[in-house]
Amino acid sequence: MNWPTGAELIGRFARPAEIPQTVGLACPYFSGRRISGSVDGAHRRNKDLGNSSASTCMQTAFPSMIGPSALGVAAISVYEPQRSLDNAWFAESLPQKFVKHTGTRARRISDRSEVDLAYGAVRRLQREWGVDLRQCAAIVYVSPSHIPLAVARRLAHPDLVRREQLFCSARRLARRLGIPACPVYGMNWFCSGYSKALEVVRRIVVPMLGLGREQFVLVTVASRISRITDYECASTGALFGDLASATLIARCDSPVYPVHFEIHDAFACRRPAPGAYFDFELRDNVLFPDASAGRTRVGSRIVFRLDGLNIADIAPRAMASALESCLRSRGLPSTDLQFVVPHQAGSAIVRLAAMKFEQLGVRASVINDVTSQIGNVSSCSIPFALRHSWHTLHGWIACPTAAVGAPGKAEVSQGCILLRSTPWHQRAARAS
């Protein structure tokens, strides 16, 4: 097969002016060179698109990469760090109605790196599902806790900048898994990362690299937001937890990895917002929970700032908008949905989002209150909720999400995944 050159690929990856976030690719077929590009040319940017689908948009951005094979989710495994930090640790700094609004009573904390967490999730995937990594065609490594390079360059030492490179982390993961020649992508779309990763798999990875019937693509999500959290911030210190997930994406005709949920759509995009609700800052003497659930101080650390009230106001509407766009692009009546598995941003946000879904005519069961012991785990929350509800889910399933946009910018992101259970899944669910 004649593989395209790096220059040819970059030429296909949308227009440079529309690249707010890059995706790095390393592949042995490109002589070890790194290639960066954006899929933003394929996004549903606003309602002016009318009935245009993601596929229609992709034909503009990726004219030679259209027509991915039918793909689906064959397996998901989750890795939870051992340490648990309950709400009592925060004492009086915890808002009075925190549990009512978020549903969170504890969260996982890890001292290990994102690569370590992703490695743990993949090893669990191997144990639980009998996965042979020699059949892995590509790895998409997602991490919402990697500090964006522009922020790291502005606030940190050059050594830290190198450690924050998603591309390098993805390559380290492949080496640790014993598949160093495997093509890898690295990306961070914060809480919308899982939706964006599945879009990249369907629209770039599989059409570009190809996927045999016995092969699969591995999507790992590693969230270690504890390392960028200001634990003295009353509004955000207790929100997030650490977690990792591994999802196996296979062809729907795979004889080795039967698909449980066929992927009918997946996208994430950015939309303008009234203000910039998210950024990073360099803080000194930062409070952090130590290994014995005590308190310690870190000399200097980059932490995130989040306007939680405005995000909580926007998120339900953004998820509903993404869901509506997804259903419209596929011509699927809202009444056909059996389940909605939204980003688990907090029980109150999901309840408000469910009200917005009802206004669209959705009468599906909405998965909520499944993260009380792990907190908001960002882009891990949808794969976690899917795995948690695995044997319950059937029929059409929508997974909308909403998240912050790029740091310091007046924008938010939103996305959605549309799944449909397969006959194989239905048989397996009955057998369980």
- pLDDT above 80 (res 17): no
List Cβ neighbours of 258 (8 Å cut-off, separation of 6 or more).
74, 250, 422, 424
Q: Which residue has the higher pLDDT, 61 or 176?
A: 176
DSSP 109: E
Answer yes or no: do 245 and 174 share one domain: yes
Give the CATH number for residue 243: 3.40.47.10
> Residue 283 contacts by C-beta under 8 Å, 6 or more apart in sequence?
230, 300, 301, 302, 303
Count Cβ neighbours within 10 Å for each residue of 300-311 and write b for 16 or more, e otherwise.
Answer: ebbbbbbbbebb
Domain housing 398? 266-279+307-431
Question: Is the pTM for the entire model greater than 0.85?
Answer: yes
Same domain flag for 311 and 184 = no
Within-domain flag for 51: no
Q: Is 298 a residue whose pLDDT tops 90?
A: no
Cβ burial, residue 409 (10 Å; 0-12/13-18/19+): middle
pLDDT higher than 80, residue 43: no
Distance from C-alpha of 199 to C-alpha of 334, rounded to nearest angstrom: 22
Interval 218-276: pLDDT, tens: 999 999 999 999 999 998 999 999 999 999 999 999 999 999 999 999 999 999 999 99
pLDDT above 70 covers a percentage of the chain that reads 84
Do 76 and 215 belong to one domain? yes
Average pLDDT over residues 408-417: 98
For the chain, what is the domain count?
A: 2
The answer to whether residue 82 is domain-embedded is yes
| CA atoms 307, 312, 316, 317: torsion sign | negative
Q: How confident is the model at residue 69 (pLDDT cuts 50, 70, 90)?
A: low
Considering only CA atoms, which of 361, 286, 345 is closest in space to residue 313? 345
Tell me the three-class secondary structure of 332-374, residue by residue.
CCHHHEEEECCCCCCHHHHHHHHHHHHHCCCCCEECCCCCCCC
Q: Compute the average pLDDT of residues 382-408.
A: 97
Report the C-alpha gap between 201 and 69 in whole angstroms: 11
Q: Is residue 101 part of a domain?
A: yes
Strands 216-223 and 136-142 turn out to be parallel
Amino acid found at 273: A
231 and 184, same structural domain?
A: yes
Q: Is 272 found in the same domain as 195?
A: no
Mean pLDDT across 146-169: 92
Per-residue pLDDT reduced to its tens digit, 91-142: 888 988 999 999 999 999 999 999 999 999 999 999 999 999 999 999 999 9
Helix axis angle, 347-359 relative to 308-330, nearest 10°?
Answer: 40
Nearest-angstrom CA–CA distance, 415 and 323: 8
User: Are residue 320 and residue 243 in the same domain, yes or no?
Assistant: no
- pLDDT above 50 (res 68): no
Confidence at 14, pLDDT banded by 50, 70, 90: very low
Specify the higher pLDDT residue, 168 or 20.
168
